[in-house]
Chain A
Amino acid sequence: MRTWLFLVAAAVLAAVLVDGLAGLPSFGHFHGVDGLTLDHVTVRQRHATDVITAINFDYRGLDTMGEEFILFASSVGLVVLLREQRSDRRQDARDGPAPPGGDARDPLLALVGRWGVAPIIVLGIYIVTHGQLTPGGGFQGGVILASALITLLVTSGGRGPRTIGRHGALEALEALGAGGYVAIGVAGIIAGLQFLSNFLPLGTAGALLSSGTITSLSTVVGLEVAGAIALIVAEFVEQGADSGTAR
């Protein structure tokens, strides 16, 4: 019954969509002036060769602030939900015995966990700091940094959350990222310009320390995203490791 209702509604929606989408300029004939102008002026104006990162952290930096706070709010909501579930179940096992199986892990996993994490962190830092030059930036690099922690959690057998996912540190990292963005914006006001204006020296296009606040904003967003995703995964892992049956 519900399926039939849906199919009728979907047919109506499909008709509306096709009618609306047919009114767009045909594929490949984009007319927007803003975007194409930005392609031409960004390198000269902001000394940044990656136009997309310049848009995210300079021309439309306020939107990115909103997005990163969506991320922050989601991770906080998730932490509240999962910790409330855990505290309902667990009375006093916060310092209980470590789960068994700590030394019986697969040797290949142990190898990856030991030697694979450092290259991932280096790659993450590279992507974050080179955001204004080549494809990359805070968002992508932050997820890569978080994946280093995920690798540690996955390859460490049952011991992960207690020894690695130090929630205080991850929460501090995330808060530092979120607050740092606003702080850099306010620093723009203190420097006599508007909120989130690019007031640092622009440097030369193509060098690492260029484009003013774009680099700093990208770095703090990278910290925040890394902290948020690592915190989320650590919370999920601890959710499962809590009831005694180790991985």
Chain B
Amino acid sequence: MTTLQAAVLIVVAASGTAVALTRDPTRQVILTGLFGLVLAVLFFVFQAPDVALSQIVVGSVALPAMVLLTLRELRRRAAERERGE
């Protein structure tokens, strides 16, 4: 187990904890993007380039896009409800 692997593992644990403990979903999306990136680095360091490529494209393109669109829709509906009452 090299020092690099140990260091990346610690960073993964720290960013995972940060994602879970952040309450506001908008901030959490940014942290999730960071977590995905660190996870991809971890996959590289574990000699898994295919998995790292998968994680990069999913975690930086597909997932944040979906979550941010959902959050936008939820905010819009909440504003609509407040206007309607």
Contacts and interface: CB of A to CB of B under 8 A. Distances in A.
Given A27-B1, A143-B61, A146-B62, A236 B54 contact: no
A245 B66 contact: no
B49 interface: yes
What's the interface size class on A, roughly? 20 to 34
B57 A143 contact: yes
A193 to B, nearest CB: 27
Given A143-B61, A245-B76, A136 B66 contact: no
Given A28-B1, A243-B80, A140 B62 contact: no
Contact of A147 (B53, B57, B73): B57
B69 to A, nearest CB: 4
Given A135-B53, A136-B50, A240 B66 contact: no
Contacts, number: 55
A144 interface: yes
Interface residues of B, number: 18
Contacts of B69: 233, 236-237, 239-240
A243 B76 contact: yes
A14 B69 CA distance: 36
Nearest to B56: A140
A52 B76 contact: no
25 contacts: A27-B1, A50-B50, A52-B50, A127-B53, A135-B49, A135-B50, A136-B50, A136-B53, A140-B50, A140-B57, A143-B61, A144-B57, A147-B57, A150-B61, A229-B62, A233-B65, A236-B65, A236-B70, A236-B73, A237-B69, A240-B69, A240-B72, A240-B76, A243-B76, A245-B76
